[in-house]
Amino acid sequence: MNSRNWVRFFIHTLLLGGVITIFTGFAVQWEKYKPLFLDFDILEIISIAIWLLGVGFIFSVISQMGYFAYLTIHRFGLGFFRSLWNPVQLVVIAFVLFDFIYFRYKEFAGENESIWPYLLVALFLLLIGIVIAYLKAKQSDKHAFVPGLFFMVCVTIIEWVPVLRVNNHDWLYLMLYPLLICNAYQLLMLPKYIERSKVERPVIRKEQQMTVHK
């Protein structure tokens, strides 16, 4: 991918994370912000939206760091485990989901609290991961399903750790949805940016040659 499309990819993902966080922020704390909308307090709404936009940019950067870190890990895994890399990823997914449920329940559950809320969040992550991985497999080939699932489940949980440790309900969902959407966008859209770079490469080369001759 050329530098021009890399910058486009970065900016589009950044803006996506910011915009999604604005909507998510108002949604998860609707009871708090509802009076502002009823009173048409435009300045206050805009100031909160700008703050949420900045927070979303941070979430987007975390997502992009996680994605490019995974691309490196994926290359290493293919080289080291070869044909066993997909089964290894499935085992890791199972362990990560188990730990995600068990340790959160053990750390944060109140007395006599059910494990179901912790289990449902993990199932939601798994379901979203399966859907996005299926779309990825249709986009490229069936071997892309497991890596896509690994990224959407395991890497999302790792990126989510800063708020998982605090376990604040609003922040959990404020960060989760932008991460999922940014991760899905990167996973599904990167090949299109790469293809665009391939198409643009002869044009850029021609422009460079014309510049040199001038």
Residue 205 to residue 134: CA distance in whole angstroms: 36
Mean pLDDT of 125-149: 93
Q: Judge contact between 156 and 180, C-beta under 8 A.
A: yes
User: What does the pLDDT look like over 159-198, one tens digit per residue?
Assistant: 999 899 888 888 999 999 999 999 999 999 998 888 887 8
Give the start-to-end residue ranges of the domains of the chain: 3-201
The structure tokens listed for 177 are 């949805």
pLDDT of 174 reads: 93
Range 121-126 average pLDDT: 95
Taken in order 30, 35, 41, 44, the sign of the CA dihedral is negative
Under the banding of pLDDT at 50, 70 and 90, the label for residue 123 is very high
Instruction: Tell me how far apart the alpha carbons of residues 184 and 189 are, in angstroms, rounded to a whole number.
Output: 8
Mean pLDDT of 63-67: 95
Angle among Cα 98, 134, 119 to the nearest 5 degrees reads 25
Residues 6+ apart with CB under 8 A from 177: 20, 24
> Structure pTM?
0.90
